[in-house]
């Protein structure tokens, strides 16, 4: 089976079972000093207008004021669905999501994240602030554009997996099912691994 198809099917099952992690991934990068960094992001399903035959693709939205922006050319993502006891590790290249698609989907965000996206123009993501109360006050005082639109710093990246590993901990015999796929040229090649 194509591992991307398998991932989407597992994620659909996780959503059906109301898995709290079904919409998330842990994204790992390497910073400018060579140190690994990991953060939790919302994992999005998007269409790629430039490649309609690709179907649904995985993507993350970020703000280009974030220090992680410069480290996003190659990433690793981990998705774990606790209700299924299934883990995916994806090694990915990235490609930009078209701005129009990012800005259209941005409208679906809750109000607080929208305000934060505009706040990043004032104080870049990860910059220090004197206190949480100062942060809350400054975010509350923002003059937002009307109509409310995404700031120019709102970005999205497609995750383009070139290697995928699936670990299924829910086996009746107690021996985990671990498989790895890689795509050297065309098509996926599967290898069963010792768990």
* Helix/strand/coil (H/E/C) assignment for every residue in 46-94: EECCCCHHHCEEEEEEEECCCHHHHHCCEEEEEEEECCCCEEEEEEEEE
Residue 195 CA: distances (Å) to CA of 9, 73, 162? 22, 29, 21
Confidence of residue 91 (pLDDT cuts 50, 70, 90): very high
Whether 50 shows a pLDDT value over 80: the answer reads no
Confidence of residue 48 (pLDDT cuts 50, 70, 90): low
Span 150-161, average pLDDT:
94
Q: What is the pLDDT of residues 14-44, one digit of tens each?
A: 999 999 999 999 999 988 888 999 999 999 9
pLDDT value of position 126: 87
Region for residue 34 given its phi and psi (left: phi exceeds 0; alpha: psi -120 to 50; beta: otherwise): left
pLDDT value of position 31: 84
Residue 103 CA: distances (Å) to CA of 29, 76, 98, 109, 120? 25, 25, 9, 10, 16
- Scanning the chain, the segments in alpha helix (DSSP H) are 3-16, 99-106, 111-119, 132-140
To the nearest whole percent, how much of the chain has pLDDT over 70? 96
pLDDT value of position 65: 85
Distance CA 57, CA 20 (A): 21
Distance CA 94, CA 158 (A): 5
Span 130-153, average pLDDT:
94
Confidence of residue 149 (pLDDT cuts 50, 70, 90): very high
Structure tokens at 45: 């399903």
Whether 47 shows a pLDDT value over 90: the answer reads no
Asked if 26 and 40 touch (Cβ cutoff 8 Å), the reply is yes
Whether 75 shows a pLDDT value over 70: the answer reads yes
Whether 53 shows a pLDDT value over 70: the answer reads no
DSSP state of 23: T
Asked if 183 and 165 touch (Cβ cutoff 8 Å), the reply is no
Span 67-91, average pLDDT:
93
């Amino acid at each position: 089976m194509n591992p991307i198809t398998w991932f989407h099917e597992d994620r659909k099952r996780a959503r059906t079972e109301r898995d709290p992690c079904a919409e998330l991934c842990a994204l790992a990068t390497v910073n400018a000093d060579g140190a690994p960094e990991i953060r939790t992001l919302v994992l999005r399903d998007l269409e790629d207008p430039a490649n309609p035959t690709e179907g649904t693709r995985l993507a993350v939205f970020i703000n280009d004021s974030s220090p992680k922006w410069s480290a996003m050319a190659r990433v690793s993502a981990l998705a774990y669905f606790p209700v299924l006891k299934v883990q995916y590790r994806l090694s990915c290249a990235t490609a930009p999501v078209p701005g129009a698609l990012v800005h259209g989907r941005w409208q679906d965000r809750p109000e607080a994240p929208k305000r934060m996206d505009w706040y990043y123009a004032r104080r870049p993501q990860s910059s220090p602030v004197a206190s949480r109360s100062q942060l809350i006050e400054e975010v509350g005082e923002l003059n937002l554009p009307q109509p409310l639109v995404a700031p120019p710093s709102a970005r999205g990246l497609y995750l383009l997996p070139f290697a995928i590993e699936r670990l299924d901990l829910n086996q009746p015999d107690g021996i985990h099912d671990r498989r790895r796929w890689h795509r050297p040229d065309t098509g996926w090649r599967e290898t069963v691994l010792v768990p």
